[in-house]
Amino acid sequence: GDSVTQMQGQVTLSEDDFLFINCTYSTTWYPTLFWYVQYPGEGPQLLLKVTTANNKGISRGFEATYDKGTTSFHLQKASVQESDSAVYYCVLGESSGSWQLIFGSGTQLTVMP
């Protein structure tokens, strides 16, 4: 079945640093890929959605793309701020049955002032 792997459990940066988070996915169909963000004490919320390989999704200074050749997708931001501290989930839209969301295990981003 479809799956998503998110290897970076924790990332610690300083303000104005560059952020790059990477996930890999497995699916037999055309993927729809999402990034959700979860702030402390809240539920996850949609940050970005990407439906076409090599096309960027852009929101709140974050960019996301995916590469069909390497079956990977990425989230990046040129200059992080302390307010970006949160958990970031890569998510695959399941395409071979239930059409549900498959969440990665999450990356805890901590940005030091």
Partner 1 sequence: EAAVTQSPRNKVTVTGGNVTLSCRQTNSHNYMYWYRQDTGHGLRLIHYSYGAGNLQIGDVPDGYKATRTTQEDFFLLLELASPSQTSLYFCASSVGTGNAEQFFGPGTRLTVL
Tell me the closest approach of the beta carbon of residue 15 to partner 1, in angstroms: 27
Tell me the closest approach of the beta carbon of residue 90 to partner 1, in angstroms: 9
Tell me the closest approach of the beta carbon of residue 56 to partner 1, in angstroms: 17
Residue in this structure with the two tokens 């479809």, named with its chain if needed: 2
Q: Which is nearer to partner 1, 51 or 110 (CB)?
A: 51
Q: Is 98 in the site for partner 1 (CB under 8 A)?
A: yes
Q: Is 93 in the site for partner 1 (CB under 8 A)?
A: yes
Within residues 28-57, the interface with partner 1 by CB under 8 A covers 32, 41-46, 49, 51
Among 38, 9, 13, smallest CA distance to 112 is for: 13
- Tell me the number of residues near partner 1 by CB under 8 A: 23
